[in-house]
Every structure is written in C-alpha cells, then in structure tokens.
Amino acid sequence: MEINKTYDPSLIEDKWYKYWMEHKFFKSVPDEREPYTIVIPPPNVTGVLHMGHMLNNTLQDVLIRRARMLGKNACWVPGTDHASIATEAKVVQMLRERGIKKSDLSREDFMKYAWEWKEKYGGIILEQLKKLGASCDWDRTSFTMDKGYYNDVINVFIDLYNKGYIYRGKRMVNWDPVALTAVSDEEVIFKQVNSKLVYVKYMLEETSNLKPQSPNFLVVATVRPETIMGDVAVAVHPEDERYKHLVGKKVIVPLVNRAVPIITDDGIDREFGTGCLKVTPAHDIVDYEIGLKNNLPIIDTLNEDGTISESGQVFVGMDRFAARKAALKKLEEDGLIEKMEDYSHQVGHSERTNAVIEPRLSMQWFLKMKDISKPALDAVMNGEVNLIPNKFINTYKHWMENVRDWCLSRQLWWGQRIPAWYSPNGEYVVAKTEDEAVEKFKSQKVEVKREEIKQDEDVLDTWASSWLWPISVFDGMENPDNEDIKYYYPTNDLITAPEILFFWVARMIIAGYEYRGEKPFTNVYLTGIVRDKLGRKMSKSLGNSPDPLELITKYSADGVRVGMLLCSPAGNDLPFDEGHCEQGRNFANKIWNAFRLIKGWTIDDSEPSQKNQMAIDWFSAKLSAEIENINDLYSKYRISEALMASYKLMWDDFCAWYLEMVKPDFVDGAALPIDNYTYNSTIEFFEELLKVLHPFMPFITEELWHLIGEREEKECIMVAEWPEAITSDPGILKRFEALMDSIVQIRNVRNERNISPKDALELYIRIPENPVSKSFEPLMMKMCNLSAIHYTEDKVENAASFISSNIEFFVPLAGKINVEDEKAKLMKDIDYNKGFLKSVQSKLANERFVSNAKPEVVDSERKKEADALNKIKTLEEQLGMLEK
RNA sequence: GGGAGUUUAGCUCAGCUGGUUCAGAGCAUCUGCCUUACAAGCAGAGGGUCACUGGUUCGAACCCAGUAACUCCCACCA
C-alpha cells in the first residue's frame, strides 16, 4: 500500500462527517443509558462563525464525544437565536438596498421579509459548525422563534404577569436612537470620550435684590448644550454658600427663554463645574429623579431617532450632535458662554449599534428581579450549580445581590410580540389572543369594541426567549412531563463566554427554578475571550479575526481544534496565534506517520524478543497511568491539560520512545520482520491512543481507525469505548525512568562532542553485572547505537562519564576527548553539588528544623545529604583521574 | 468611586492541603543531524531574585499585610 508522506485532510473530513451523519451517530433518543446533555449557546441567526464560536463549540464537541465514548447517551442540542435587534438591523439594511423603507411597510409585510431573510441566510453558522466536526443532534435543531418556542415565551410572559412579577411603567431607559429601541443596562458599554464642558450663563429673571457687584447670572457647566431646551430647573447643593441667596428665584433658560426655578438637591457635587446643575428630566437619569422629587415638568426635546422634537422649539428636526454644534454657536452669539474646557468622561454606547445611548423616558414592561432571582443566587452559592472556574462566583453573587429590574420590551417587530392589549382609553389587559383580551376587558368592566383594541407594538427582549432554552428545546414548557424533558433535564454542562454570565446564564437558572423547580444545568464552563496578538478582543468591526473556515482549509479541522485548545484554560483569555494551529496540524502529521511506520512492517511468527516484551510492558503501564491522569483532568474540566497530556503520550511516549524501541532494524537495505505479538500489541496501543485523541481530533482518528484494521459497517471510533486504565506494576515506570535518563545522558555525550549518530559507541557501567542491568542492555544498545556494553569495577580512562541513578557510566572516547573541557564540566558539577550539600547541611544543622519538621521530611534531607556526599566523592575521583 | 481577578522562562500556561514532583510543560531560541515513519521531522542544550516590599514560619512561588502594573465587572457625577 502506498501511503502519502504527509497527512492530507482535505477529502477525509467531509467524508467522515457525512458517514457519521448517515449512520445517525449524533442522534440521541431517551433510553436506559445515563444521559449526557449539552444545549448549545444558540448563536445569532445572523451570525457567521468567529473564533469565539470555534473555541466554544470545540470544547462542547470534546466533552460530548468523550461522554459518548464513555457509554453515555450523549445529546448536544443545536440551534439559533432570533436575536431581535441584530436581525432586524440586517433585514432593514437588506430592504434599504432594495429601496424599501421599513416605515413604508406594514408589520405583517415586514415580518414576511424577515422570515424570508431568515430562511435564506439564517443558520449559515450551523452549517459552518459541521466543518468543525460538531457532533450535534441536528434533528433537534431549535430556533427561538419556532412556533412552539414562540408560544412558550408568550405563555411565560402572561404567567409572570399574572404572578405579579411583570409591571408596566414609565421609566428612564437606555434608548438606542439608531436601532430605535430601548436596550438593557447590560447592553450599554461605557466608553471614555473626550468632549467639551461648556460653562453657560443662565440670566437671573429679576436682579432687583442682588448685592452690588454680584453678577446677574448663574453659570452651569454641561457637556450636552443641545438639551438646554429641556431644562426645567437649576439645582444647587443646599449648603452651598455661593448660591443660598438665590434658591427659590428663577433663571432664564437660554435658547428658549423659559423661566425656571433654582432648587436644591443633596446629590449635587459642589466641586464639579460651578456647583450648578441644569435639570433636564427627560434626558438624564439623575435629573429625572430630581424632577420627580421636586414635581417638575418633563419636557422631552428629542424624537426617538435622536433628532430635536417640536418641544425643543429650536433646531427642530436637527440631529442631536448637529444640534449641539448649533446650540454652541447660538450661545456664543448670544454671549452666554463663559468658557469651555476639555473634558473626558464615560459615555454609554449601544453594544449592538455603537450609537451613543440616550436616556429616554418611555413606557416599558419590566420584570421584578429581586424575588424571582433568589433561588438562582442560592443555587450557585450552595454549589448546586458550579461555575468553572469558580472565581466567577464572586462576580455572580455581586450581580445577583444588586440585580435591577429587567426591561423586557424592545421597540422592534422581529421577536415575540408582547401579549398586551390596549383600549382607546389606555386601559390594558395581558392576554394570549384578541378574543381573550376582549373577554378580559369585559370581566374588568371595560366596555370596548373588538375593533378598537390594539395589541402592544413592542416585542420582548431576546434574552426573554433564550432564558427558556434548556427547557423549550425539549418542549418542557408546553409538555412538562414529556419523555425528553424528563430524561435530558437538567442538562449537564453549559459552555459559554463569561460576558453573558448575567444576560443569559443567570436568567436560565432563574427560569429553570421558576418553571421546572430545578436547575437547568450542573456545570457552567466559562471560556475565555479570544484575543488577537495585541490583546484586543477579536471582533468583526476591528477586522482582526481570522476566518475560521480559512483556518480549517489551511490547517484542517483537527489542527484548528487542537490549536484552539492548546492554550485555553477555563476562564482565561486566549491570545490567538495561528502558530498553535500549525502545531495542531503538525501533530496530525506525526500521528499519520506513526501509522505509516506501523503499517509498513512485515510480520512473522517468531517469538517477541525480551527487548520488545519490556517495551510493551512499559508502554502498557505508561498508557494506563496516563489514561488515569487524563480522566482526572477531564473531571476537573482542565481540557487544555488533558489535551497536552494526550499529545505527549502520543508524541513522546509512543512515537519517540516506544516505537523507537520496537522498530525493527534494517539489514541490507530491508527492514527485518516484526513478531506477531509485538505487532498486535502495537496496533492495540495505537488504537487506544486514537481513542484518547478522538474527542480532540475526530477526523484523523476516524480515518486511521479504519485504515489500521478491517471494520464493520458501524464500527467507528466515535462510538468506540473510551479506554480503560488497567492497574499495573508501578515499579516498571520507575525503572524505565532510570533507563531513559541514562539513555538521554549517553545521547548527550554524543551530541556535546559532535559524534555522528552513525558511529557506534561502547559503554562501561561501573557495577557488577546483574540480571536487571543485563535485561536493559538491548534497549540501551538500540536507543543509543552502542556496539557493546561492559561492566567494570574500576574507573575508565579517556572516557566521558556521567552518573545516573547513583551508577557511574563511562563512554570511552579515545582521541575525541578534550581533557580541559571534561575537567571544566566536572568542576562545574562538583561546585553545584557542593552548594546543594551546603544548603542541605545547614538545614540539618538547624535544631529547630530537626525538631519541628515532619520526620519523613528530615529523613529525606538526610538522604539528600548522603547522596550529595557520594556524588561529590565520585566526581572528585573522576577529576583526579583526568589530572593524572 | 466600589468589587473581583491576574502578575512564575521570549510567548502561553501548570505548580492541588507551605518541605523529593527538585521551580515544570508546550511553543519559540540555540547546537548537531535530510539516520529508509515523519525536516509539518530526529537528538540534545540553554533560559526564571516565581511583580515589588515587609511579616508569619525551622522552612514561602504557595499563608498574611502593603505597593505597583494590567484585566474584568458594577456605578447617576453633569
């Protein structure tokens, strides 16, 4: 069989993915096995695969695949989120490109376009996940606007309303003037912005009672002169001596010449600006509060798109930023600007559109969070739900204890429409259908005609649907006792980004307890944020994110998966570097070549040599020990480390040591045959290794699994059993460590003196010949290219020497040895050991150490002392020989 | 402004209850090798005052306090 020298994944990956799909290996239905369930964090339907998804979904696939191999009924539910704001923005943009304005469309028509868009472009990301190898049960693919799901969301709203958790209120919300919607506090990102702090003169209405010299105006410092038209007061601190005499008087608001009172408020910072605050209740949260306290009117001078409204009187229709410039110009002309200062401060931006957020007063629906979130706080605090890493518990706790009410409504069309109905007089009911609404009005003795009532125009926040995800994907809301939900819920692990710990994770836990009386998942693995080399978050807007599909083409899915996981401990950021993917690809190639080697052997029916038997015994023990180690790492969710352990097991232990030990020699240009037993053992080891690596590298392991042996139709590695560790003699690992150390030292002797690996060397060991040492001879000879091994009672002259496991070794190097170099080396070694001895002896000389430390610690120090003394003595003897 | 976290080799990270897991791993670097599995490779090597300063202890990368730098979360300072 001709096998390619390098591994070519291009055809292999698609082939196996298709095969797995055809054989329904990803499919899960409830049965008697233990379930292992993950629900995918549903990406936005608008989404395209980015590096964050890659990391996230690779981790999920690793866990799912391993669980499947462990014999569990593994179920990974995929799906997408309707992402109201993001999707609506896309649809609006698409319409604009076709020359259609959203405002010209009816709600129904818009929705038609939106669904059309969703069917056509939505869910590309799920197809991309397949390239990665994601073993999701695609038959279970869910969407947060599926009919049943939609229903669940509406029912939950109605239920929470009936329970008194939901209320409607006029509240200051974060308004996104580009998306034309309110966004939650969590979706506002504060950024440091440089602006101008403008000191504006507000003329006093009457100047009669003023002291002479004192000015006839107040100065107010503001960064938002365009809101001046909405001013209804000027507030000062009640204790502020500068202004005490003016309280209760009136000033004239510039630009609109309105007289407003001067009032006091404790919240005013006397140090900031002039200590005078212009109060604009419609456009600032603090001002709104002050307005409420003082019963001030509210003048909303902005339209929903951020332009100045009719109530502004001036600059009407102008954008707020243009109006700011215009206001400054006008104030300047009127001579009302005292001065301007550069000023840097935090300004809220919309996470979705990056528009500057406008605090805006509007009627919204809210969910009271305090009581409903209590069980979700407790669940994490008492360990019912684990956060991994657990450093996030503090953050979680802090957030949950200071939780604010959740603004549920969004001024959009794409999403679940709020099931509330209004009468012409502004009375409202919450009801599922129009019919029900009419009934409810009737029962509340409100006389309305069916044609007169109107449904709320707003939709629900996207998180108000995705918080039901672990329940709704199993139809657990509508049919709370169905087989799926009973079997799969609570799910096992949730893998997601820490950024949405509150948006999503906390709310799922809340919904879980509210609607199932039970947590939605047991473990939450929080991944890091993928950053570029400069430490910046990877994002589309920065354009610093590599295209994952291109990476897959370049390095193979297996290579990229390994690359992503090599350096991504839970909760730590992942500074992405393509070099890691290269390492992954190289690893795949290494495995491929190990296979080539084994496959190229010819087999005979001879007995295994003692050398091979020893190698087999050792690797068998090593494999078991490492499987245990890897299992342990998985149990602690140290996925990166599990990968690294698997990597070293394959590369170092199997390829570099084991295969080199058993690899047949060449005689006359042809490889000797290998005995049957060694061959079979090697194949068995290789298969076990492939299984260990399968979760990380599903494709190459499946390919080799089939190339290495005849397989039945459905006998795939992805459904093979996870290897078991067999207990074995731990002494063998110890003995091999000693052997390996001496092998490395012999190779070092060769390397340091530039002796070609082709030149065979002789070795002298300064111990009496014994069966154990004798048994190791063939291995040493093979691994070091030795021509002979001798035992000696004396030191050997003209030889390089070293000590390994308290045994002296000599490699005769007549003519190749530089006495001065050897002496220098020995002296350095002696110095080091003397230093070491000194530190040990001073420790032992310390009475308090000897009396306080644990006896075994003291013993071990004594042993160190003896060993060091011995070693120094030996080294000095060797030095003495050279000096002769 | 409040809270949390991080700081160990050039890079990314391990280092579990203070003492044989010795300060470790992978990558990168350096040296020598195209040795019929693999140059996407092989064999070796070098490299760290464990951020800083004190303290506790017989003993500190690990515990305590303070300092510095960075990161994240929360917060209404115009």
- Complex ipTM: 0.93
Helix (H) or strand (E) holding A208: none
Rounded to whole angstroms, what are the CA distances from A619 to A625, A661, A729? 10, 10, 12
Tell me the sheet residues that pair with A198. A222, A340
Number of H helices, E strands in chain A: 28, 33
The alpha helices in A609-729, defined as continuous H runs, are: 610-635, 639-648, 660-662, 676-693, 698-708
The separation between the first and the last C-alpha atoms of chain A, rounded to the nearest angstrom, is 61
Question: A265 and A290 in contact (C-beta within 8 Å)?
Answer: yes
Question: A705 and A687 in contact (C-beta within 8 Å)?
Answer: yes
C-alpha A322 chain-centroid distance: 41
Which of the residue ranges A217-221, A433-437, A509-513, A560-564 would you say has the lowest mean pLDDT? Answer: A217-221
Tokens of A219: 């100065």
Tell me the sheet residues that pair with A279. A233
Report residues 281-340 of A contacting strand B, contact meaning Cβ closer than 7 Å: 284-286
Report residues 818-847 of A contacting strand B, contact meaning Cβ closer than 7 Å: 846
Statement: the CB of A425 is under 7 Å from strand B: no
**Tens digits of residue pLDDT in A239-289:** 788 888 888 888 898 888 888 988 888 777 777 778 888 988 888 877 887
Interval A771-789 mean pLDDT: 92
Distance, Å, A856 CA → B55 C1': 28
DSSP state of A81: B
pLDDT at A693: 97
Measured distance CA(A283)–CA(A191) in Å, rounded: 19
Tokens of A771: 């069966």
Residue whose entry in the numeric block shows the structure tokens 């149990």: A635
Question: A78 and A39 in contact (C-beta within 8 Å)?
Answer: no
The alpha helices in A240-383, defined as continuous H runs, are: 285-294, 320-333, 374-381
Q: Is the pLDDT reported for residue A617 higher than 60?
A: yes
Tokens of A704: 């080799």
Rounded to whole angstroms, what are the CA distances from A421 to A151, A261, A432, A858? 17, 40, 9, 81
Statement: the CB of A600 is under 7 Å from strand B: yes
Q: Is the pLDDT reported for residue A851 higher than 90?
A: no
Interval A833-855 mean pLDDT: 80
**Tens digits of residue pLDDT in A693-717:** 999 999 999 999 999 988 998 999 9
Distance, Å, A655 CA → B43 C1': 14
- Bases of chain B within 7 A of a CB of the protein: 2-6, 11-14, 19-20, 25-28, 31-33, 35-45, 57-59, 71-78
Closest residue (Cα, C1') to B36: A669
Q: Which tops the pLDDT comparison, A462 or A728? A: A462
Interval A330-342 mean pLDDT: 86
Interval A509-521 mean pLDDT: 95
Question: Do β-strands A188-204 and A491-496 pair in parallel, antiparallel, or remain unpaired?
Answer: unpaired
The alpha helices in A669-770, defined as continuous H runs, are: 676-693, 698-708, 730-752
Statement: the CB of A184 is under 7 Å from strand B: no
Closest CA to A761 of A742, A787, A795: A787
Closest CA to A180 of A355, A419, A417: A355
Question: A387 and A393 in contact (C-beta within 8 Å)?
Answer: yes
pLDDT at A861: 81
Statement: the CB of A190 is under 7 Å from strand B: yes
Helix axes A548-555, A124-132, angle to 10 degrees: 20
Closest CA to A347 of A544, A196, A179: A196
pLDDT at A539: 62
Report the half-sphere exposure of A181 (CA within 13 A, side-chain side).
Answer: 32
Question: A559 and A581 in contact (C-beta within 8 Å)?
Answer: yes
Q: Is the pLDDT reported for residue A739 higher than 60?
A: yes
Statement: the CB of A655 is under 7 Å from strand B: yes
| DSSP strands (E only) in A226-330 | 233-236, 250-253, 258-264, 276-279
Statement: the CB of A1 is under 7 Å from strand B: no
Which of the residue ranges A304-318, A493-507, A772-786, A847-861 would you say has the lowest mean pLDDT? Answer: A847-861
Tokens of A184: 């939650």
Statement: the CB of A737 is under 7 Å from strand B: no
Give the count of beta carbons closer than 10 Å to the beta carbon of residue A74: 26
Statement: the CB of A683 is under 7 Å from strand B: no
Interval A410-427 mean pLDDT: 92
Measured distance CA(A704)–CA(A694) in Å, rounded: 11
The dihedral built from the CA positions of residue A698, A701, A704 and A709, taken in this order, carries a sign that is negative
The rounded percent of chain A whose pLDDT value lies above 90 is 46
DSSP state of A498: G
Statement: the CB of A851 is under 7 Å from strand B: no
Tokens of A576: 């992405």
C-alpha A35 chain-centroid distance: 24
Q: Is the pLDDT reported for residue A527 higher than 80?
A: yes
pTM score > 0.90 for this model? no
Report residues 501-530 of A contacting strand B, contact meaning Cβ closer than 7 Å: 502, 528
Return all residues near A795 (Cβ < 8 A) that are at least 6 apart: A766, A801, A808, A810, A877, A878, A881
Measured distance CA(A13)–CA(A330) in Å, rounded: 67
Question: A280 and A233 in contact (C-beta within 8 Å)?
Answer: no
The pLDDT-based confidence of A493 (bands split at 50, 70, 90) is very high
